[in-house]
Amino acid sequence: MRLLVLLAALVLAATGCSGPEPARPGVLSVGIREPATLLPADLADQAGRLVTGALWTPLAGYDAASGKVTPRAAESIESTDRVHWTVKLRPATFHDGTPVTAQSYVDTWQAIASSRWVSSPVLTKLLRAREIKAAAPDTITLTLDRPSGQVPVLLSAPGLVPLPASVLASRDWDGFAKAPVGNGPYRLDGGWRPGSGGTLKRVGAGKAEEIELRVGEPAAQYDAVKAGTLDLATEVPGERHEAMHGEFADRHASWALPEAGYLAFPVTNPRFADATVRHGFALGVDRAALEAGPLAHQVDPAKALLPPSNAPGERAGTCRPCSFDAAAGKALLKQAAFPGGATVYFGPGAEAWTRAVVVGLHKALDVSVTAQAAPRAGQLDGPSTVDVKLATASPYELLSLLASASGYADEVFHQNLALADAAATAEEAGELYRLAENQLLRDLPVAPLWSGHGHAVWGSRVHDVTTTPFTGPVLAGIGVS
Protein backbone atom coordinates (compact mmCIF):
# COMPACT_ATOMS: atom_id res chain seq x y z
CA MET A 1 0.00 0.00 0.00
CA ARG A 2 2.82 2.42 0.84
CA LEU A 3 4.32 1.74 -2.61
CA LEU A 4 1.02 2.59 -4.30
CA VAL A 5 0.76 5.86 -2.36
CA LEU A 6 4.33 6.76 -3.33
CA LEU A 7 3.66 6.03 -7.01
CA ALA A 8 0.49 8.16 -6.94
CA ALA A 9 2.43 11.05 -5.42
CA LEU A 10 5.09 10.80 -8.13
CA VAL A 11 2.44 10.88 -10.87
CA LEU A 12 0.83 13.99 -9.40
CA ALA A 13 4.21 15.71 -9.09
CA ALA A 14 4.99 14.98 -12.76
CA THR A 15 1.76 16.63 -13.92
CA GLY A 16 2.47 19.87 -12.13
CA CYS A 17 -0.99 19.60 -10.55
CA SER A 18 -2.05 19.09 -6.95
CA GLY A 19 -4.70 16.40 -7.50
CA PRO A 20 -8.50 16.47 -7.57
CA GLU A 21 -9.01 18.83 -4.65
CA PRO A 22 -12.10 21.09 -4.83
CA ALA A 23 -11.59 24.40 -6.61
CA ARG A 24 -11.45 27.34 -4.22
CA PRO A 25 -13.63 30.39 -5.00
CA GLY A 26 -11.58 33.30 -6.32
CA VAL A 27 -8.46 31.16 -6.85
CA LEU A 28 -7.25 30.55 -10.41
CA SER A 29 -4.93 27.57 -11.01
CA VAL A 30 -2.64 27.92 -14.04
CA GLY A 31 -0.31 25.37 -15.62
CA ILE A 32 2.97 26.64 -17.12
CA ARG A 33 6.46 25.42 -17.98
CA GLU A 34 9.37 26.32 -15.73
CA PRO A 35 10.33 29.94 -16.55
CA ALA A 36 13.94 30.46 -17.62
CA THR A 37 14.11 33.48 -15.30
CA LEU A 38 11.81 36.02 -13.66
CA LEU A 39 14.15 38.95 -14.27
CA PRO A 40 12.02 40.99 -16.72
CA ALA A 41 14.87 42.49 -18.73
CA ASP A 42 16.34 39.06 -19.54
CA LEU A 43 13.16 37.24 -20.60
CA ALA A 44 12.70 35.42 -23.90
CA ASP A 45 10.34 32.57 -22.98
CA GLN A 46 6.56 32.47 -22.89
CA ALA A 47 6.28 31.19 -19.30
CA GLY A 48 8.52 33.91 -17.91
CA ARG A 49 6.67 36.65 -19.77
CA LEU A 50 3.31 35.34 -18.54
CA VAL A 51 4.40 35.46 -14.87
CA THR A 52 6.16 38.83 -15.04
CA GLY A 53 3.16 40.21 -16.97
CA ALA A 54 1.17 39.80 -13.75
CA LEU A 55 3.96 41.02 -11.45
CA TRP A 56 4.69 44.21 -13.39
CA THR A 57 2.76 46.91 -15.22
CA PRO A 58 4.70 48.33 -18.22
CA LEU A 59 4.65 52.01 -19.11
CA ALA A 60 2.30 51.33 -22.04
CA GLY A 61 0.54 48.61 -23.97
CA TYR A 62 0.85 48.20 -27.74
CA ASP A 63 -1.68 46.73 -30.16
CA ALA A 64 0.13 45.48 -33.28
CA ALA A 65 -3.13 45.17 -35.26
CA SER A 66 -3.99 48.86 -34.92
CA GLY A 67 -0.52 50.24 -34.25
CA LYS A 68 -1.88 52.13 -31.23
CA VAL A 69 -0.25 52.59 -27.84
CA THR A 70 -2.25 52.87 -24.62
CA PRO A 71 -0.56 54.35 -21.52
CA ARG A 72 -0.60 52.05 -18.47
CA ALA A 73 1.94 52.82 -15.73
CA ALA A 74 2.51 56.07 -17.62
CA GLU A 75 -0.11 58.77 -17.60
CA SER A 76 1.29 60.13 -20.87
CA ILE A 77 4.23 59.73 -23.26
CA GLU A 78 4.58 62.89 -25.34
CA SER A 79 6.89 64.89 -27.59
CA THR A 80 6.61 68.01 -29.71
CA ASP A 81 9.60 67.29 -31.94
CA ARG A 82 10.14 63.50 -31.55
CA VAL A 83 13.63 64.19 -30.16
CA HIS A 84 12.69 65.40 -26.68
CA TRP A 85 10.22 63.09 -24.92
CA THR A 86 8.43 63.46 -21.60
CA VAL A 87 6.94 60.53 -19.69
CA LYS A 88 4.51 61.34 -16.86
CA LEU A 89 3.99 58.53 -14.35
CA ARG A 90 0.86 57.50 -12.50
CA PRO A 91 1.28 57.14 -8.70
CA ALA A 92 2.43 53.60 -7.88
CA THR A 93 4.34 51.54 -5.35
CA PHE A 94 6.44 48.40 -5.55
CA HIS A 95 5.25 45.30 -3.74
CA ASP A 96 7.78 46.04 -0.98
CA GLY A 97 5.97 49.31 -0.24
CA THR A 98 8.59 51.66 -1.73
CA PRO A 99 7.43 54.25 -4.29
CA VAL A 100 7.88 53.81 -8.03
CA THR A 101 9.51 57.03 -9.21
CA ALA A 102 11.10 58.40 -12.34
CA GLN A 103 14.48 57.61 -10.77
CA SER A 104 13.38 53.95 -10.49
CA TYR A 105 13.12 53.81 -14.29
CA VAL A 106 16.30 55.78 -14.95
CA ASP A 107 18.38 53.58 -12.64
CA THR A 108 16.80 50.39 -14.02
CA TRP A 109 17.46 51.41 -17.60
CA GLN A 110 21.08 52.25 -16.80
CA ALA A 111 21.49 48.75 -15.34
CA ILE A 112 19.89 47.16 -18.41
CA ALA A 113 21.96 49.19 -20.88
CA SER A 114 25.20 48.16 -19.16
CA SER A 115 24.28 44.45 -19.13
CA ARG A 116 23.97 41.77 -21.80
CA TRP A 117 20.33 41.01 -21.17
CA VAL A 118 17.68 40.31 -23.80
CA SER A 119 16.29 43.85 -23.46
CA SER A 120 19.64 45.67 -23.49
CA PRO A 121 19.54 46.33 -27.28
CA VAL A 122 16.14 48.02 -26.87
CA LEU A 123 17.95 50.85 -25.10
CA THR A 124 21.33 50.79 -26.84
CA LYS A 125 20.31 50.08 -30.45
CA LEU A 126 16.64 51.08 -30.76
CA LEU A 127 15.89 53.89 -28.30
CA ARG A 128 19.39 55.42 -28.50
CA ALA A 129 18.79 58.21 -26.02
CA ARG A 130 21.64 60.67 -25.51
CA GLU A 131 20.23 61.56 -22.12
CA ILE A 132 17.64 60.06 -19.77
CA LYS A 133 16.81 62.03 -16.61
CA ALA A 134 14.37 62.06 -13.73
CA ALA A 135 13.19 65.66 -14.09
CA ALA A 136 10.75 65.21 -11.19
CA PRO A 137 9.61 62.26 -9.05
CA ASP A 138 6.84 61.59 -11.57
CA THR A 139 8.57 62.77 -14.77
CA ILE A 140 11.12 61.10 -17.04
CA THR A 141 12.71 63.11 -19.84
CA LEU A 142 14.54 61.56 -22.79
CA THR A 143 16.67 63.27 -25.42
CA LEU A 144 17.30 61.10 -28.48
CA ASP A 145 20.14 61.20 -30.99
CA ARG A 146 17.61 61.63 -33.86
CA PRO A 147 13.84 62.16 -34.27
CA SER A 148 11.87 58.97 -33.53
CA GLY A 149 8.15 58.34 -33.28
CA GLN A 150 8.75 54.80 -32.02
CA VAL A 151 9.40 55.79 -28.40
CA PRO A 152 5.92 54.87 -27.04
CA VAL A 153 6.15 51.45 -28.73
CA LEU A 154 9.65 50.83 -27.38
CA LEU A 155 8.71 51.91 -23.86
CA SER A 156 5.86 49.37 -23.93
CA ALA A 157 8.46 46.57 -24.10
CA PRO A 158 7.89 44.23 -21.14
CA GLY A 159 11.61 44.19 -20.34
CA LEU A 160 11.78 47.92 -19.52
CA VAL A 161 9.67 47.75 -16.35
CA PRO A 162 11.17 49.29 -13.17
CA LEU A 163 13.14 47.45 -10.49
CA PRO A 164 13.13 48.47 -6.80
CA ALA A 165 16.08 50.33 -5.30
CA SER A 166 17.08 47.35 -3.14
CA VAL A 167 18.12 45.13 -6.06
CA LEU A 168 19.59 48.04 -8.02
CA ALA A 169 21.89 48.61 -5.04
CA SER A 170 22.74 44.96 -4.37
CA ARG A 171 22.81 43.86 -8.03
CA ASP A 172 21.85 40.38 -6.84
CA TRP A 173 19.98 39.59 -10.03
CA ASP A 174 19.84 35.83 -9.43
CA GLY A 175 18.44 36.30 -5.94
CA PHE A 176 15.91 38.83 -7.20
CA ALA A 177 14.71 36.46 -9.93
CA LYS A 178 13.80 33.94 -7.20
CA ALA A 179 11.72 36.48 -5.28
CA PRO A 180 10.88 39.30 -7.73
CA VAL A 181 9.28 42.54 -6.56
CA GLY A 182 7.24 44.37 -9.18
CA ASN A 183 4.71 47.16 -9.54
CA GLY A 184 1.87 45.11 -11.04
CA PRO A 185 -1.55 43.87 -9.96
CA TYR A 186 -0.14 40.72 -8.32
CA ARG A 187 2.76 40.02 -5.95
CA LEU A 188 4.64 36.76 -5.60
CA ASP A 189 3.89 35.28 -2.18
CA GLY A 190 6.76 33.31 -0.65
CA GLY A 191 9.13 33.35 -3.60
CA TRP A 192 9.40 31.09 -6.63
CA ARG A 193 9.72 27.33 -6.10
CA PRO A 194 11.71 25.81 -9.00
CA GLY A 195 10.04 22.70 -10.37
CA SER A 196 6.83 23.50 -8.49
CA GLY A 197 5.65 27.07 -9.13
CA GLY A 198 4.44 29.97 -7.04
CA THR A 199 1.45 31.80 -5.65
CA LEU A 200 0.36 35.25 -6.80
CA LYS A 201 -1.71 37.42 -4.44
CA ARG A 202 -3.84 40.26 -5.76
CA VAL A 203 -2.70 43.75 -4.76
CA GLY A 204 -4.18 45.74 -7.64
CA ALA A 205 -6.72 45.56 -10.45
CA GLY A 206 -6.89 41.79 -10.93
CA LYS A 207 -10.02 39.65 -11.11
CA ALA A 208 -8.85 36.52 -9.28
CA GLU A 209 -7.95 36.95 -5.61
CA GLU A 210 -5.12 34.45 -5.92
CA ILE A 211 -3.36 32.66 -8.78
CA GLU A 212 -1.67 29.30 -8.27
CA LEU A 213 1.08 28.80 -10.84
CA ARG A 214 1.90 25.11 -11.30
CA VAL A 215 4.98 23.99 -13.23
CA GLY A 216 4.60 20.86 -15.33
CA GLU A 217 4.46 19.34 -18.79
CA PRO A 218 1.86 20.67 -21.26
CA ALA A 219 0.29 17.28 -22.07
CA ALA A 220 -0.36 16.50 -18.41
CA GLN A 221 -1.69 20.01 -17.81
CA TYR A 222 -4.04 19.73 -20.79
CA ASP A 223 -5.45 16.50 -19.31
CA ALA A 224 -5.73 18.15 -15.90
CA VAL A 225 -7.94 20.90 -17.35
CA LYS A 226 -10.12 18.22 -18.95
CA ALA A 227 -10.37 16.46 -15.59
CA GLY A 228 -11.26 19.67 -13.75
CA THR A 229 -8.16 19.73 -11.51
CA LEU A 230 -6.55 22.70 -13.29
CA ASP A 231 -8.28 25.87 -14.49
CA LEU A 232 -5.97 26.98 -17.31
CA ALA A 233 -3.23 25.33 -19.37
CA THR A 234 -1.06 27.88 -21.17
CA GLU A 235 0.52 25.55 -23.72
CA VAL A 236 -1.07 22.82 -25.85
CA PRO A 237 1.09 20.07 -27.39
CA GLY A 238 0.88 19.75 -31.15
CA GLU A 239 -0.72 16.31 -30.98
CA ARG A 240 -3.66 17.80 -29.01
CA HIS A 241 -4.44 20.68 -31.37
CA GLU A 242 -7.05 18.80 -33.36
CA ALA A 243 -8.75 17.39 -30.26
CA MET A 244 -8.67 20.83 -28.61
CA HIS A 245 -11.33 22.20 -30.97
CA GLY A 246 -13.80 19.51 -29.92
CA GLU A 247 -12.88 19.11 -26.27
CA PHE A 248 -12.67 22.86 -25.59
CA ALA A 249 -14.95 24.22 -28.32
CA ASP A 250 -15.44 27.70 -26.83
CA ARG A 251 -12.73 27.49 -24.19
CA HIS A 252 -9.49 27.76 -26.12
CA ALA A 253 -7.45 30.60 -27.62
CA SER A 254 -4.45 31.09 -29.86
CA TRP A 255 -2.23 34.13 -30.23
CA ALA A 256 0.79 35.26 -32.23
CA LEU A 257 4.11 35.01 -30.42
CA PRO A 258 7.00 37.47 -30.98
CA GLU A 259 9.01 34.65 -32.59
CA ALA A 260 9.77 33.79 -36.22
CA GLY A 261 12.13 31.75 -38.37
CA TYR A 262 13.98 32.80 -41.53
CA LEU A 263 16.54 31.60 -44.04
CA ALA A 264 19.18 34.34 -44.35
CA PHE A 265 21.41 34.46 -47.44
CA PRO A 266 24.96 35.86 -47.49
CA VAL A 267 24.19 38.48 -50.14
CA THR A 268 27.84 39.55 -50.40
CA ASN A 269 28.87 36.02 -51.42
CA PRO A 270 29.00 35.74 -55.24
CA ARG A 271 27.06 32.45 -55.25
CA PHE A 272 24.09 34.10 -53.49
CA ALA A 273 24.41 37.66 -54.82
CA ASP A 274 21.71 37.03 -57.45
CA ALA A 275 18.17 37.45 -56.06
CA THR A 276 17.02 34.80 -58.56
CA VAL A 277 19.05 32.18 -56.65
CA ARG A 278 17.61 33.34 -53.34
CA HIS A 279 14.06 33.13 -54.67
CA GLY A 280 14.80 29.65 -55.99
CA PHE A 281 15.87 28.46 -52.54
CA ALA A 282 12.86 30.14 -50.90
CA LEU A 283 10.45 28.29 -53.20
CA GLY A 284 12.16 25.01 -52.34
CA VAL A 285 11.21 25.14 -48.65
CA ASP A 286 8.10 23.15 -47.71
CA ARG A 287 6.89 25.25 -44.79
CA ALA A 288 3.83 23.08 -44.14
CA ALA A 289 6.11 20.07 -43.67
CA LEU A 290 8.19 22.06 -41.17
CA GLU A 291 5.08 23.04 -39.25
CA ALA A 292 3.75 19.47 -39.11
CA GLY A 293 7.18 17.90 -38.50
CA PRO A 294 10.01 19.18 -36.30
CA LEU A 295 8.14 22.32 -35.23
CA ALA A 296 5.24 20.19 -33.91
CA HIS A 297 2.33 22.46 -34.88
CA GLN A 298 3.64 25.27 -32.64
CA VAL A 299 4.12 27.62 -35.61
CA ASP A 300 2.29 28.86 -38.68
CA PRO A 301 3.90 28.71 -42.14
CA ALA A 302 5.00 32.24 -43.00
CA LYS A 303 2.61 34.33 -45.07
CA ALA A 304 4.57 37.58 -44.83
CA LEU A 305 8.00 38.81 -43.84
CA LEU A 306 6.78 40.39 -40.60
CA PRO A 307 5.05 37.97 -38.21
CA PRO A 308 1.54 38.92 -37.00
CA SER A 309 2.93 40.03 -33.61
CA ASN A 310 4.97 42.78 -35.31
CA ALA A 311 2.85 43.69 -38.33
CA PRO A 312 1.15 47.11 -38.02
CA GLY A 313 -2.27 47.44 -39.66
CA GLU A 314 -3.92 45.20 -42.22
CA ARG A 315 -1.87 42.92 -44.46
CA ALA A 316 -2.35 43.15 -48.22
CA GLY A 317 -1.13 41.09 -51.15
CA THR A 318 0.51 37.68 -51.27
CA CYS A 319 4.01 36.56 -50.34
CA ARG A 320 5.26 34.64 -53.37
CA PRO A 321 8.59 33.66 -51.70
CA CYS A 322 6.52 32.12 -48.87
CA SER A 323 5.12 29.52 -51.29
CA PHE A 324 6.38 25.98 -51.86
CA ASP A 325 6.90 25.43 -55.58
CA ALA A 326 9.70 22.95 -56.32
CA ALA A 327 9.38 23.19 -60.10
CA ALA A 328 9.59 26.98 -60.09
CA GLY A 329 12.48 26.87 -57.62
CA LYS A 330 14.49 24.50 -59.84
CA ALA A 331 13.74 26.64 -62.88
CA LEU A 332 15.04 29.76 -61.13
CA LEU A 333 18.29 28.06 -60.12
CA LYS A 334 18.75 26.84 -63.69
CA GLN A 335 18.02 30.33 -65.02
CA ALA A 336 20.69 31.79 -62.73
CA ALA A 337 23.16 29.02 -63.60
CA PHE A 338 23.57 28.19 -59.91
CA PRO A 339 26.51 25.78 -59.72
CA GLY A 340 24.87 23.63 -57.03
CA GLY A 341 25.93 22.65 -53.57
CA ALA A 342 25.34 24.67 -50.42
CA THR A 343 25.79 24.47 -46.67
CA VAL A 344 22.99 25.76 -44.46
CA TYR A 345 24.23 26.87 -41.05
CA PHE A 346 22.24 26.76 -37.81
CA GLY A 347 22.54 28.22 -34.33
CA PRO A 348 21.69 26.80 -30.88
CA GLY A 349 18.24 25.20 -30.68
CA ALA A 350 17.62 25.26 -34.43
CA GLU A 351 19.41 22.08 -35.54
CA ALA A 352 16.35 19.81 -35.85
CA TRP A 353 14.26 22.11 -38.01
CA THR A 354 17.29 23.27 -40.01
CA ARG A 355 18.11 19.67 -40.95
CA ALA A 356 14.49 19.24 -42.08
CA VAL A 357 14.89 22.36 -44.27
CA VAL A 358 18.07 20.89 -45.78
CA VAL A 359 16.47 17.52 -46.56
CA GLY A 360 13.52 19.31 -48.17
CA LEU A 361 15.73 21.60 -50.26
CA HIS A 362 17.77 18.66 -51.56
CA LYS A 363 14.62 16.79 -52.55
CA ALA A 364 12.77 19.77 -54.04
CA LEU A 365 15.62 21.48 -55.90
CA ASP A 366 17.81 18.46 -56.71
CA VAL A 367 20.94 20.19 -55.42
CA SER A 368 23.43 19.02 -52.81
CA VAL A 369 22.63 20.72 -49.49
CA THR A 370 24.16 19.97 -46.09
CA ALA A 371 23.60 21.31 -42.57
CA GLN A 372 26.32 22.49 -40.22
CA ALA A 373 26.55 24.35 -36.90
CA ALA A 374 27.50 27.98 -37.49
CA PRO A 375 31.05 28.90 -36.46
CA ARG A 376 31.44 31.47 -33.71
CA ALA A 377 33.28 33.91 -35.95
CA GLY A 378 33.86 34.62 -39.61
CA GLN A 379 31.66 35.14 -42.63
CA LEU A 380 29.39 32.32 -43.76
CA ASP A 381 29.62 30.95 -47.29
CA GLY A 382 26.02 29.70 -47.35
CA PRO A 383 22.54 30.46 -46.00
CA SER A 384 21.79 30.29 -42.29
CA THR A 385 18.58 29.70 -40.39
CA VAL A 386 17.64 32.54 -38.06
CA ASP A 387 15.37 31.87 -35.08
CA VAL A 388 14.26 35.32 -33.90
CA LYS A 389 12.85 36.09 -30.45
CA LEU A 390 11.87 39.74 -30.24
CA ALA A 391 12.06 42.11 -27.27
CA THR A 392 9.63 44.74 -28.62
CA ALA A 393 6.60 45.00 -30.85
CA SER A 394 8.29 47.51 -33.15
CA PRO A 395 8.83 46.37 -36.77
CA TYR A 396 12.05 48.40 -36.70
CA GLU A 397 13.70 45.85 -34.40
CA LEU A 398 12.97 42.92 -36.70
CA LEU A 399 13.61 44.59 -40.06
CA SER A 400 16.97 46.00 -38.98
CA LEU A 401 17.94 42.63 -37.44
CA LEU A 402 17.10 40.74 -40.65
CA ALA A 403 19.07 43.16 -42.80
CA SER A 404 22.04 42.78 -40.49
CA ALA A 405 21.81 38.96 -40.49
CA SER A 406 22.22 38.86 -44.27
CA GLY A 407 24.56 41.81 -44.80
CA TYR A 408 21.87 43.61 -46.82
CA ALA A 409 22.96 47.24 -47.15
CA ASP A 410 20.56 48.68 -49.76
CA GLU A 411 20.39 52.45 -49.34
CA VAL A 412 16.68 52.83 -50.18
CA PHE A 413 15.71 50.14 -47.67
CA HIS A 414 17.66 51.77 -44.86
CA GLN A 415 16.26 55.18 -45.79
CA ASN A 416 12.72 53.83 -45.49
CA LEU A 417 13.59 52.27 -42.12
CA ALA A 418 14.94 55.61 -40.88
CA LEU A 419 11.86 57.44 -42.18
CA ALA A 420 9.56 54.92 -40.47
CA ASP A 421 11.45 55.40 -37.23
CA ALA A 422 11.08 59.18 -37.50
CA ALA A 423 7.43 59.17 -38.66
CA ALA A 424 5.04 61.40 -36.74
CA THR A 425 2.06 59.01 -36.79
CA ALA A 426 1.53 55.27 -36.50
CA GLU A 427 -0.23 55.28 -39.89
CA GLU A 428 2.72 56.95 -41.63
CA ALA A 429 5.17 54.59 -39.93
CA GLY A 430 3.06 51.59 -40.95
CA GLU A 431 3.15 52.58 -44.62
CA LEU A 432 6.91 53.02 -44.56
CA TYR A 433 7.45 49.71 -42.79
CA ARG A 434 5.37 48.01 -45.47
CA LEU A 435 7.53 49.60 -48.16
CA ALA A 436 10.64 48.27 -46.40
CA GLU A 437 9.07 44.83 -45.98
CA ASN A 438 8.04 44.69 -49.65
CA GLN A 439 11.55 45.60 -50.73
CA LEU A 440 12.98 42.77 -48.64
CA LEU A 441 10.48 40.37 -50.20
CA ARG A 442 11.57 41.50 -53.65
CA ASP A 443 15.33 41.41 -53.06
CA LEU A 444 15.00 38.52 -50.57
CA PRO A 445 18.13 38.73 -48.46
CA VAL A 446 16.06 36.64 -46.02
CA ALA A 447 13.22 34.24 -46.78
CA PRO A 448 10.40 34.00 -44.21
CA LEU A 449 9.72 30.44 -43.04
CA TRP A 450 7.43 30.42 -39.99
CA SER A 451 5.97 32.48 -37.15
CA GLY A 452 5.30 31.20 -33.66
CA HIS A 453 1.93 30.96 -31.95
CA GLY A 454 0.66 29.98 -28.53
CA HIS A 455 -2.40 28.03 -27.40
CA ALA A 456 -4.33 27.85 -24.15
CA VAL A 457 -7.35 25.87 -22.91
CA TRP A 458 -9.42 26.47 -19.80
CA GLY A 459 -12.15 24.98 -17.63
CA SER A 460 -15.82 25.87 -17.42
CA ARG A 461 -15.51 28.12 -14.37
CA VAL A 462 -12.97 30.39 -16.13
CA HIS A 463 -14.07 33.52 -18.03
CA ASP A 464 -12.72 36.67 -19.68
CA VAL A 465 -9.55 35.16 -21.16
CA THR A 466 -7.67 37.60 -23.39
CA THR A 467 -4.16 37.26 -24.83
CA THR A 468 -1.29 39.41 -26.09
CA PRO A 469 1.85 38.40 -28.04
CA PHE A 470 4.21 39.04 -25.14
CA THR A 471 2.22 37.69 -22.18
CA GLY A 472 -0.07 35.09 -23.72
CA PRO A 473 -3.14 34.93 -21.45
CA VAL A 474 -3.44 38.15 -19.43
CA LEU A 475 -3.63 36.69 -15.92
CA ALA A 476 -4.94 39.87 -14.27
CA GLY A 477 -7.98 39.93 -16.55
CA ILE A 478 -9.08 36.30 -16.02
CA GLY A 479 -12.03 35.65 -13.71
CA VAL A 480 -13.13 32.43 -11.98
CA SER A 481 -16.60 31.63 -10.73
Q: How far apart are CA 452 and CA 479, in angstroms?
A: 27
Judged against a pLDDT cut of 70, whether residue 62 lies above it is answered with: yes
Taking only the tens place, the pLDDT of each residue in 9-37 is 444 444 444 444 567 778 999 999 999 99
235 in a domain, yes or no?
yes
User: Residue 26: its pLDDT value, please?
Assistant: 87
Containing structural domain, residue 191: 25-56+184-251+459-480
Q: Are residues 275 and 232 in the same domain?
A: no
Judged against a pLDDT cut of 80, whether residue 353 lies above it is answered with: yes
CATH code: domain of residue 464:
3.40.190.10
Burial class (CB in 10 A: 0-12, 13-18, 19+), 8: exposed
Q: Are residues 358 and 380 in the same domain?
A: yes
CA 225 to chain centre: 25
309 in a domain, yes or no?
yes
Judged against a pLDDT cut of 80, whether residue 317 lies above it is answered with: no
For residue 64, give the nearest of 443, 398, 446, 435 by alpha carbon. 398
The pLDDT confidence band at residue 67, using thresholds 50, 70 and 90, is low
Q: Are residues 65 and 43 in the same domain?
A: no
Q: Are residues 372 and 243 in the same domain?
A: no
Domain tally, the chain: 3
Q: Are residues 269 and 363 in the same domain?
A: yes
Q: Are residues 45 and 84 in the same domain?
A: no
Q: Are residues 195 and 317 in the same domain?
A: no
Q: Are residues 153 and 298 in the same domain?
A: no
Q: Are residues 31 and 69 in the same domain?
A: no
79 in a domain, yes or no?
yes
CATH code: domain of residue 128:
3.90.76.10
Q: Are residues 236 and 344 in the same domain?
A: no
Average pLDDT over residues 214-230: 97
Q: Are residues 51 and 75 in the same domain?
A: no
The fraction of the chain above a pLDDT of 70, given in percent, is: 93
Q: Are residues 321 and 434 in the same domain?
A: yes
Judged against a pLDDT cut of 60, whether residue 1 lies above it is answered with: no
